[in-house]
Amino acid sequence: MNESPVVVVGAGPVGLAAAAELAERGVEPLVLERADRAGAAVAQWHHVRLFSRWAELIDPAARRLLEATGWQAPDEGSYPTGREWVEHYLRPLADALGTRVRFGAEVVGVARRGRDRVVDAGRDSEPLTVHVRTASGAEERVTVRAVIDASGTWSNPNPLGGDGLPAVGEHAVAGQIVYQVPDLTDAVVRQRYAGRHVVVAGSGHSALTALVAFDELAAQHPDTRITWLLRRGEVGDTFGGGQADQLPARGALGQRAKAAVEAGRIEVVTGFRTAAIERDAHRLGLVSDAGARVESVDEIVVLTGFRPDLSWLSEIRLGLDATLQAPVALAPLIDPNVHSCGTVYPHGVTELSHPEPGMFLAGMKSYGRAPTFLALTGYEQVRSVAAALAGDRESAERVELVLPETGVCGGAGVFDAPVEEQDGGCCGAPAEPEVLTVSARSTH
């Protein structure tokens, strides 16, 4: 067997699961993580409670590895926060993997040894090389048999601009914009927003989470004003499936946000595609591409989803869909105009393969700009890829996965908002209704 390792990029939930799956099959993994600890991206939304129960958040091979160390699984029927997911699963898993995980190691490039992407010869015989920059600034090159890119999309949020690019003036007012759900359990953060006019932009689960949190804040600080900015022409099914959602926490979240809107506590502005942000003293004005305006804004929370960073894969031959930037074979299965989390067809190594042998995108990054990704999907992806790399093609192609339905999807046109309006809520930045109350925990 090839003694070179399989490099896994990212020590998040899917990356660590990939390492556990590979190790169990006798394939040596090497996880490269640029942060100094596991679950660094999840830790940035530590205060948010996931939609999925613990039972759906633990990879089977990872569970077996952990249990061999004496680890005790949390209550499988409960819903962890981001912090709890990190502390009780991701970091113990990284510890169990030991030296197979390297921190402070940023992958800055992947290539075929001695060949740029133009050269045909040797692409089936020469190994891949992974270019690494360490925390000290040193550079390394690692020869590997395959690469599983599970680096996610969290570090690359979509901008406020309605055309997918930053609005005019967006960079200039960066100090008054955040691109994640604020932790309103933190007194300093709460003070930043209390009594201010806050605009929340986005129509996904993260946006609903923020709206519920700010509604709680306004209950304690009545002079807080909340405006919800939607690119779509009407609210429509933005609140989700309610009781029909097989992820009950997600359904309840939508109903809480809906109640706040119907009670008039949240002002809704639809059909607003931001073209520019203007500053008047310390306050902001938002201008749409149609000339509509939202005035006297103090703070903007942009929750318009994420996109993959493909810049360091420039020398790799990727087969990506022109619209979603997901693998060509996977894209039709996850098109948000047709599918929700629960109607995505089972998929594995076949759909995740690229023209470049040995290169795989997994986890949220494999979805490109498509939203609503479940941890279970990522775990099944890397199980299939690991089986293929171990030479067990039968197991790799036997992909079976039943996912919970959203309660709102089932046909073309259901997700009628542009992709950039959705967010990665099922796994990457999910939420649950009782979290983010002002009096609640200081998690995430």
pTM: 0.87
Q: What is the pLDDT of residue 51?
A: 80
Indicate the fold that domain 6-155+306-421 takes in CATH: FAD/NAD(P)-binding domain (3.50.50)
Q: 């993997």: which residue's tokens?
A: 97
Domain boundaries along the sequence of the chain:
6-155+306-421, 174-302
For residue 158, the model assigns a pLDDT of 95
State which amino acid sits at residue 11: A
pLDDT at 253: 79
Q: In the prediction, which pLDDT does 415 show?
A: 23
Establish how many alpha carbons lie within 13 A of residue 103's alpha carbon, considering only the half-sphere containing its beta carbon.
Answer: 12
Separation of alpha carbons 139 and 78, rounded Å: 43
Residue 234's pLDDT is what?
A: 77
Question: Nearest CA to 14 among 443, 368, 414, 377?
Answer: 377
Question: Residue-wise pLDDT tens for the chain (444 aa)?
Answer: 468 999 999 999 999 999 999 999 999 999 999 999 999 999 999 998 888 899 999 999 999 999 999 999 999 999 999 999 999 999 999 999 999 999 999 999 999 999 999 999 999 999 999 999 999 999 999 999 999 999 999 999 999 999 999 999 999 999 999 999 999 999 999 999 999 999 999 988 889 889 999 999 999 999 999 999 999 887 766 676 555 555 556 667 778 888 988 899 999 999 999 999 999 888 999 999 999 999 999 999 999 999 999 999 999 999 999 999 999 999 998 887 775 555 667 789 999 999 999 999 999 999 999 877 889 999 999 999 999 999 999 999 998 776 655 433 322 222 222 223 333 333 333 333 233 222 222 222
Give the pLDDT of residue 339.
57
CATH topology identical between 6-155+306-421 and 174-302: yes
Name the CATH topology of 174-302.
FAD/NAD(P)-binding domain (3.50.50)
Given this model, what pLDDT does residue 418 score?
28
CA-derived radius of gyration, the chain: 22
At 222 the pLDDT is 95
Q: State the pLDDT at residue 78.
A: 94
* Beta-carbon contacts of residue 361 (< 8 Å; ≥ 6 apart): 149, 308, 318, 326, 327, 352, 354
Sheet of 283-288: strand order equals 274-280, 283-288, 293-297
- Name every residue whose Cβ is closer than 8 Å to that of residue 14 and which is 6 or more positions away in sequence: 150, 152, 362, 363, 364, 375, 378, 379, 381, 382
